[in-house]
Structure 1
Amino acid sequence: MIESAQLALANLLAPAVLFFLLGFGAGWFRSDLAIPESAAKTLALVLMLSIGFKGGVEASKAGLSQAFLSAAGAGVALSFGIPLLAFAILRAVSRLDRTTAAATAAHYGSVSIVTFVAGTEFLRVSGIPFGGYMVAVVALMETPAILSALVLAGTGAAGRQGLRGELVREVALNGSVVLLIGAFLIGVLTGEGGMAKLDVFVGPVFQGVLVLFLLEMGLVASRRLREARSLTPALVGFALVMPLISCAISLLLGFLLRLPPGDAAVLAILGASASYIAVPAAMRIALPDADPGVYLTLSLAVTFPFNLVVGIPLYTAAASLLVR
């Protein structure tokens, strides 16, 4: 317990978290601090490239292992299943219409790549090893939740948009997914030789990019929360409790599948995260009648900060205790 508290404190004092809090405070108090949108997109691209490439290099070392197949299967099952539970909870505790509830549930079945970055960095600093192939699990968990949302919203909405039309293109060619998978495959193909050539870019440079990106995310999250008009205490409570429920389910799967502790911790972090990039883009096409003031504010302005500051060390500690 003492060790877990020390890890949590270490996470709070990590530069990435402190820069996020700096951005959050600056945005909340209406500072004119800003990062140009083009620069923010560049930072995001560097993060995706680094994550995917490093994961591919590690996967090339591990090969197509049983641990990877188990983690991948668990990730896909979570992405399909968590929206069903989230939807039921939302309908029980709020007055959201069916479409908005389905769209919101999709966010909690998909994943936040930035939460994954922060979580794996926390594991690295804590000396907890995990499989590099987990980056492939991230990519696999991006889209199943979107399909679940379409089913939840009703076949009429899905039929109007057409699963073979613009929605499929938006999901399959989402920039973060394309770059993540592409960099992962390049890492697999080039292996350690490729890592030697890009070591500075995906190593020391990565840390600076991460803190700048989280500074920007703090600004965006606080401003989104300040401007929110559709939130109720029940919805905020959902955004704080749902990650804990998803973490518990993820850890149970990790335990049943006998995943290594590090992989189980990453799976728990992914299960507890909520998308605010890929899914909002897909929901604009698939469910245009859903209220983005609800689903984007909950995932970005409530769940993301909670996971970054409190959730990651909590999920890691739980994984260390339950999965051995």
Structure 2
Amino acid sequence: MRKLFQADASGAPRLFSMRNMVGAALIGAVVMMTTAATDYAFGQHENNGPSPVIIGQSLQPKDSKVEVAAPKADKQEKSDDLKTRPIGSRVFKAIVEVAHPDELKPGEAVDVSLATLHGGGAHSETILKHVFVHSVERVPGSENQTPPPEEAEDAPVVVEHGHEQPEVFPTRVVGLLVNGGQLEKIRLAEAHGILRLSIHHEAAHAGMLASVMNNFVTNLFQPLLLFFFMGFAIPLLRVPFEFPKALYQSLTIYLLVAIGWHGGELMAELPSSELAVAGGLAAVGFIVNGIIGLCATWMLRTFTPMRRIDAVTVGSYYGSDSAGTFVTCLGILATLNLLHDSYMPVMLAVMEIPGCLVGLFLVSRLRRSGMDKLGNMPDEPGYMGDAHAMTVTSPAAQDVSENAETHEHHGELVAKSVGAAVAPAHKSALNLKLLHEVFLNPGLYMLFGGIIVGFISGRQAIVDPHVVEGPNNLFLVLFKGALCLFLLEMGITACQRLSDLKTAGFGFILFGVLAPVLFATFGMVALHGYSMVLGHAFEPGTYALFAVLCGAASYIAVPAVQRIAIPEASPTLPLAASLGLTFTWNVTLGIPIYIEIAQHIIQWFPIA
């Protein structure tokens, strides 16, 4: 994200200074004290007797295990679903409206809607689908009361989307079996209206092609993508418009902090067992993206005429991830009412690092193999001798580094570096400054900082929910609007980067479009294998987010590392691929395709 995420090149920071060590110790102490205090307060709250029924609050202690009564024989399929329910299930117990109270029984699958009043009429919007009922009770004190007129069979109806429905349904105290993401979504929805339950009915299964087309059409006309297309058309139509840099930087900071805040707030309610699952998934994601970085480099060396240094750099971009693609996927999942596990923002931070490390490792090998100061290897055109034989002030090096050139390599065009700097001789591949750029670049810092603040605030909110009320209004309610403006700018940048592909060749362009699908599928298979080892299912949205983390290419962390550690490589080719091709593909066709592939993986390889 350009200047906002460009590191200061003035010198190596002191990572292990006494001030930094004391600061880290203070942060750790605050986290531990907050966790201990909220655990103590929460434990006292549980021991003060039975909790009252409060709309929007789960009555189940966060670490307790939920035992679901075995459904009847005619509900064997639902019983199987309950055995493979998502990790970290808990009971959300609240007063809700029920469309057909007599049909609602424990083990039944229901859809949850948010009922609100607009213009004097009722409006109902589905927020969750296929949620299992844990318990059903009458509202305390209403057992012997006569139902009010609005709950009778002749209650007034309103027409909504061509369907007639009563304005008010009977109320019940219903316990729903939910995970952390569902719990958060229900709580936010209940703050804006009342929850309404209806029996879930499975839709007729469509073919894969029909489902992909349906998802594509559904996503194509969502505001998020329309803003992206709007920005993409600005350079094509030559509209004299430049997105304000200050606004772009502000949106970037807001989105990263908002993602971290929401993830940390949800993680605060996770039991220790689920945090262990998140740690294992982080290890899986780190390994998967490392493998993807190596595979991308091999594919570019095999199927394109690129120089080795440029192939390594582009491969390292694909071994990382994309915050823009991640936040776009979050917006699409929210639109489609698909849930994801709450610790996925942590995965965004963890899976950005492998690409940086893979690039540094492979480039260090090239330098030991005789690479010259401009990134050319002995068997590549324009080779100027071993790097140790050249000096920084060499006139030949300066002349070549100041001009963009293309050379013939086996009869095909080879993209050269554009304005590549000259690296100092005998420079180590890893140093404190470089490690600081990899692990503490501004993007990762904002994300990790948001996670820590959200986690501490979430622990406090267990005792006092008002602690997070204001930040939730800022980071959750305004999130989609800020994302629309962010995608407007990303559309402009993606279209401008397409011009950089003129010298890349057809194989490079094909790689930028097809490789994300291959890498995303590989990531989802690895995720499903991990879920089968655990014996638990992940949310469908988790598969989609993990897919974009594997199938996207970085344009934040890796470019900053490349500027410092790999100045010989072309700075335009990897950004042209990551923004002009891969980002455009992922946010238009890629995400709906990944969702469909995930559904088929889950269906074809069920968890025993």
Asked if the contact 1:28/1:226 (under 8 Å) is kept, the reply is: no
Q: CA deviation at 1:69?
A: 2.5
Letter of the 1:139 counterpart:
A
Give the conservation status (yes or no) of the 8 Å contact 2:500–2:576: no
One-letter code aligned to 1:30: R
Uncovered stretches (5+) of structure 1, i.e. residues with no partner: none
Which residue of 2 is the match for residue 284 of structure 1? 563
Q: Which amino acid aligns with 1:144?
A: P
1:7 counterpart residue number: 215
Q: Structure 2 residue aligned with 1:257, among 517, 524, 530?
A: 530
Select the structure that is richer in strand: 2
Q: Which moved more, 1:230-239 or 1:190-199?
A: 190-199
For the residues of structure 2 that align with 1:197 and 1:113, how far apart are their CA atoms? 25
Match of 1:308 in 2: 587
Instruction: Report which stretch shifted further, 30-39 or 308-317.
Output: 30-39
Corresponding residue number in structure 2 for 1:181: 448
Matches within 5 A, 1:100-249: 100-155=310-365, 157=367, 160-191=427-458, 192=461, 193=465, 194-249=467-522
More helix by share: 1
Distance in 1, matches of 2:483 and 2:553, equals 19
**8 Å contact kept, 1:43–1:213:** yes
SS in 2 for 1:323: helix
- Answering whether residue 591 of structure 2 is matched by residue 318 of structure 1, we say no
Q: Structure 2: which 5+ runs fail to align? A: 1-207, 369-425, 532-536, 604-608
Distance 1:23 1:121 in 2: 18
Q: Secondary structure at the match of 1:274?
A: coil
Q: 1:80-139: per-residue Cα shift (whole Å, max 9, x none)?
A: 110110011000011111111111001101000110111122122222211110100110
Distance, in Å, in 2 between the alignment partners of 1:230 and 1:280 is 20
Matched, 1:295 2:568: no
1:22-67: CA deviation from partner (whole Å, max 9, x where unpaired)? 1001122221122111111011111111111001111112244143
Q: In 1, are the aligned partners of 2:331 and 2:480 still within 8 Å (CA)?
A: no
Runs of 4+ in structure 1 deviating by more than 4 angstroms, as ranges, are 156-159
**Does the CA-based 8 Å contact 1:111-1:273 persist in structure 2?**
yes
1:243 Cα deviation after fit: 0.4
Alignment RMSD: 1.7
Bigger drift between 43-52 and 184-193 goes to 184-193
Counterpart residue type for residue 136 of structure 1: V
Asked if 2 retains the 8 angstrom alpha-carbon contact of 1:230 and 1:293, the reply is no
**Any conservation in 2 of the 1:150–1:157 contact (CA below 8 Å)?**
no
Give the TM-score, by structure 1 length: 0.95
Does residue 31 of structure 1 match 2:304?
A: no
Partner of residue 57 from structure 1, selected from 265, 271, 274: 265
Report 1 or 2 for greater relative contact order, CA contacts < 8 Å, sequence distance ≥ 6. Answer: 1
- The aligned amino acid for 2:239 is S
Query: Greater Rg, structure 1 or structure 2?
Result: 2
- Once the two structures are superposed, the pairs formed by residues 50-89 of structure 1 within 5 Å of their partners are 50-64=258-272, 65=274, 66-89=276-299
Give the letter aligned to residue 318 of structure 1. Answer: I
Structure 2 SS opposite 1:230: coil
Change (3 A) 1:166 1:229: farther
Please give the per-residue CA displacement for 1:152-202, whole angstroms capped at 9, x wherever unaligned: 223365972441232112122211100000101111111144432212211
303, 306, 322: which is aligned to 1:96? 306
Question: Residues of 2 paired with 1:126 and 1:156: CA distance?
Answer: 46
Larger CA deviation: 296-305 vs 59-68: 59-68
- Whole-Å Cα distance in 1 between the matches of residues 513 and 366 of structure 2? 31
- Partners of 1:20 and 1:250 lie apart in 2 by 26
Mapped partners of 1:302, 1:319: distance in 2: 23
